[in-house]
Amino acid sequence: MQSMPASASLAGVRGAWPRALVEAGILSLEQLRQARETANRERMPLSRVLVRDGLVGSKTLATIMAIHTGLLMVDLRSESIEPEALKLLPEEMARRYMVLPIRLEAGRLVLAMSDPTDYASLQDVEAFANMPVEAIIATPEDILDHISVSYRLTENQEMDAPGGQGDHGGKVTARVLREAPPAKVFELLLKQAIQDRASDIHIEPSESRLRIRFRIDGILHDVMSLPMEMHPILVSRLKIISGMNIAERRRPQDGQFTTEVQDRRIDIRVAVSNTVNGEMAVLRLLDKRFTLLGLDHIGMNPGVLERFRKLCRLSYGMIIVCGPTGAGKSTTLYASILEMNRVEQNVVSLEDPVEYHIADANQMQVHGEAGITFATLLRSTLRLDPDIVLVGEIRDQETAVIANQAALTGHLVLTSLHANDAVSALLRLKDLGVAPYLIASSVAGILSQRMVRMVCSGCRTIADRPPPEQRAYAEELGENRSQFAFGTGCNMCAQTGYRGRTGVFELLTLSDQIRQLFLSDAPRAKLLEQALAEGMVPLRRDAMLKVKEGDTTPYEVMRVLFTLQ
């Protein structure tokens, strides 16, 4: 099947693919008629209305269009998208028309479209690009995903290229930032960070350069280097907009501000601290359009999920979620609250800070500078007739003791704690100064977790992995295997082989036997032995089971979970 010039080849086929949908039994005539009326009323292409309203699957529609227009249908994951083509069409226009420039070929712009019969969009693109357009077909989801990736504001090979000309199709290069005013610099960096799915922006001075890094899926990536002359201007601007003292350079400072990037409201928490090379800054990005995940979607295996849900249905007791910073504890706590009946129960959360808002929950924020700590808030919260209390983190003895007492007096307490695993969390509470009998009486269950990167679905393949990865897998699951799922790198994952993250978990429910061992001051090894005998799946095994399913790689599990034990 050959692609052909859209403007020359599509005359007379406008009604062919809608009729094919009816003939194939995918749509009824009445559904098609109503969809046409909606499309005319809202001035949208018929194809977008059909997909938006769930009448036709996007892949089915793309296949039907390809058959009835004679145009080529492509998977953009395997396409090489040329920067020269992207320069001909701004990203905003590509999103508006749901199209993606692919390459220049024989004096034509090859353009991926979800609906090549949308002649108005074709004419606008041809006029803007000032050249004929050759259409190929892709699904709307594929196009939108690749717009986000292809219009990335930075590409390493362009950032460091000396003497580059032009604006690189709207991409932020070191040269562009050097020439931009300070206010524009932050706007450009934030736009890039959002498109790159970054959770943090690092601005780090060194002796010779200002290093800009993004944390994506838990891993820091260098994105550009700027001259050190820009450092004082950037940090001063950042302090002003986040409400810090611009004259203070020795003491660490925290601040925050809110901005809009691409019609998305972003809350940004800023931390600035002095180093030997000057002040470094870290910006944590909180997208207010972020959808809170339920327990079904965070990666728990069915057995752990069922047992954890039973814990969440308790009327009193303490549930602890533990792990290091960045392990996804807050996500799990939020998901747990979403499981609660927030209409018949009074749910109160104490957080530092409140990152995302939960409907029908009373969320309170800690203010350390004003003397409002977790302990003082928790003490006052118990006078507000709560049924369920979420304590963002147990950091000290006072908070730990009050939380345990609350769990013993008819409240369900959910909290997080920094501990390496579930058994260690019990010992950590004791180290904080909580009496062992209080811990044994109040704690109902402990969930330990980590986050691992997932293999990109766009470039997933099965490949031989090195012997250390094979040995790690065999040691955990007791089976020899040389080939595993692996991401080769594609446009979707920015050539990393990974896209998105999932959780790995171990759940310890406190049985009478474990309580007796704990009260008798048994060592950690004995507690762990009993937990495993009662069916607890340890973190490493749960992670390797995800390797077995093809969700992640042995290397990623080793990176996150293997220590010098």
pTM value?
Answer: 0.69
- List, as one string, the DSSP characters of 281-330: EEEEEEETTPPPPPGGGTT--HHHHHHHHHHHT-SSEEEEEE-STTSSHH
Task: Provide the residue type at 242 as one letter.
Answer: S
> CA distances (Å), 35 to each of 17, 39, 47, 141, 279, in order?
14, 6, 9, 20, 57
- Domain edges within the chain: 6-146, 156-160+167-287, 295-455+500-552
Q: What are phi and psi of 128, to 5 degrees?
A: -70, -45
At residue 551, what are phi and psi to the nearest 5 degrees? -80, -35
The residue type at 349? S
DSSP string, 77-91: GG----HHHHTTS-H
Residue pointed to by tokens 């969440």: 312
Phi, psi of 175, rounded to the nearest 5 degrees: -65, -40
- 449 within 8 A of 218, measured Cβ to Cβ: no
Residue 189, pLDDT score: 82
What does the pLDDT read at residue 155? 45
Q: Is 207 left (phi over 0), alpha (psi -120 to 50) or beta?
A: alpha
CA separation for the pair 240, 435 (Å, rounded): 47
Supply the pLDDT for residue 429.
Answer: 92
Give the start-end residues of each E strand in 53-151: 99-105, 108-113, 133-137
Q: Do domains 156-160+167-287 and 295-455+500-552 have the same CATH topology?
A: no
546 and 503 in contact (C-beta within 8 Å)?
A: no
Exposed/middle/buried for residue 163 (C-beta within 10 Å: 0-12, 13-18, 19+): exposed
pLDDT one digit per residue (tens) for the chain, 565 residues:
444 444 433 333 345 678 778 877 888 888 888 888 888 887 777 888 888 777 888 788 888 888 878 888 888 877 778 888 888 888 888 888 889 999 898 889 999 988 888 888 888 888 888 899 999 998 888 888 788 677 764 444 344 444 443 344 444 555 555 656 666 777 778 887 887 788 899 999 988 888 999 998 888 888 888 888 888 888 988 899 899 998 888 899 999 888 887 667 888 999 999 999 999 999 999 876 666 788 988 999 999 999 999 999 999 999 999 999 888 898 899 999 988 888 888 999 998 877 778 888 898 988 777 778 888 888 888 888 899 999 988 988 999 999 999 999 889 999 999 999 999 999 999 999 999 999 999 999 999 999 999 998 888 899 899 999 999 999 999 999 999 999 988 767 767 888 889 999 999 999 999 999 999 999 999 999 999 999 999 999 999 999 999 999 999 999 998 754 4
Q: What is the 3-state secondary structure (H, E, C) of 432-479?
A: CCCCHHHHHHHEEEEEEEEEEEEECCCCEEEEECCHHHHHHHHHHHCC
Q: Which helix (H) or strand (E) holds 352?
A: none
Residue 184 to residue 272: CA distance in whole angstroms: 20
Q: What is the 3-state secondary structure (H, E, C) of 236-251?
A: HHHHHHCCCCCCCCCC
Largest CA distance in the chain: 84
Q: Are 83 and 104 in contact (CB under 8 A)?
A: no
Reference 110, options 118, 119, 101; nearest CA is 101
- State how beta strands 133-137 and 108-113 pair: parallel
In sequence order, the 6+-apart residues with CB closer than 8 A to the CB of 349 are: 337, 358, 361, 362, 363, 364, 389, 390, 392
Q: Which CATH number fits domain 156-160+167-287: 3.40.50.300, 3.30.450.90, 3.40.50.2300, 3.40.50.620?
A: 3.30.450.90
* Paired tokens of 22: 């009816």
Question: What pLDDT, on the 0 to 100 scale, is given for residue 437?
Answer: 92
- pLDDT, residue 553, reads 94
CB neighbour list of residue 45: distance below 8 Å, 6 or more residues apart: 39, 115, 117, 118, 121
Question: Could you tell me whether strands 388-391 and 347-351 are parallel, antiparallel, or unpaired per DSSP bridges?
Answer: parallel
Per-residue pLDDT at 3: 43
Residue holding tokens 């089976």?
479
CATH number for the region 295-455+500-552 comes to 3.40.50.300
Q: What class has domain 6-146?
A: alpha beta
Interatomic CA distance for residues 85 and 78, integer angstroms? 17
HEC letters along 526-562: HHHHHHHHCCCCCHHHHHHHHHHCCCCCHHHHHHHHC
What backbone torsions phi and psi does residue 455 show, to the nearest 5 degrees?
-65, 135
Q: Burial level of 139, CB count in 10 A (0-12/13-18/19+)?
A: buried
Q: Which helix (H) or strand (E) holds 279?
A: strand 278-287
* Residue keyed to tokens 């954890």: 308
Q: Residue 182: its pLDDT value, please?
A: 60
